[in-house]
Chains A and B, each alone.
Chain A
């Protein structure tokens, strides 16, 4: 049973996501469209599972939701901060910096999430990954204390992502 389930739904959350996206694309919730969305959600992951063989194990949807809400809030704050820096700090006083984030996360999905979060939040852009994938290069727009930014990324985002992708 479990094997049949895994054969049919290699990525259960992707199936759910595809069904939701399809329904939203139709802009109209009707039974037929939801069923068609679910059919697409089963066929597409099934056909593309060759290129994405490893499903992240132990994914916590609940923790992911709280994380998304927290990130949304951070994005709002980040935008106001960056807008303020853009408008008030002259170029000569700007202190951009590179920081190197040593990664404890191993799953590619988790690292992608972390990199995306870093780019969308306070004055940071993730620029590169090291060749073996053990550290992440982050560019900071304006900071007096790069270590504080590093520890914030580690404690605020990476530790939570480690709990989401156990």
Chain B
């Protein structure tokens, strides 16, 4: 009985923390006005938000006496794939010149995204106001 009560409160707490972080991620996505800074909010805050929601799900299954570990896998796949999608979104911004131009690399000639023939750069250059 007492474990059920503690479990329920833990689930509620995790749900609150998770939804709070997801809300902050959405606020960041709407608030920032530069494509690159906008990328920061969902990649990090979203990850921990969904992590807390999944933790709530794990605790809930343990409290009900049907332990489940699928959530761990979801978390692992999310942590592996979130940086990759963020990386690709960043590469698109660099390619389409919709962000401030990056400085040149330290040892090599240019960045991999910019190392394409000029014919492939059909999108117009970004002009800051």
Contacts and interface: CB of A to CB of B under 8 A. Distances in A.
What is the predominant secondary structure among interface residues of chain A facing chain B? Answer: mixed
A123 B83 contact: no
A129 B112 contact: yes
Given A91-B32, A141-B40, A132 B107 contact: yes
A24 B69 contact: yes
Contacts of B47: 75, 79, 120
B18 to A, nearest CB: 11
A56 to B, nearest CB: 17
Contact of A137 (B43, B68, B102): B102
Interface stretch (A7-15, A30-38, A93-101): A93-101
A63 B79 CA distance: 19
Interface string B58-97: 0000000000111011000001101110110011011000
Given A76-B48, A120-B82, A131 B110 contact: yes
A75 to B, nearest CB: 7
Interface in A94-147: 94, 96, 98, 100, 102, 115-116, 118-120, 123, 125-135, 137, 139, 141
B70 A27 contact: yes
Contact of A87 (B27, B33, B36, B110): B27
Contacts of A25: 70, 73
Interface of A: 21, 24-25, 27, 75-76, 78-79, 82-83, 86-87, 91, 94, 96, 98, 100, 102, 115-116, 118-120, 123, 125-135, 137, 139, 141
Top 4 A-B pairs, shortest CB-CB distance: A119-B83, A127-B90, A130-B105, A134-B107
Interface of B: 21, 24-25, 27-28, 31-34, 36-37, 39-41, 43-45, 47-48, 68-70, 72-73, 79-80, 82-84, 86-87, 90-91, 93-94, 100, 102-113, 115
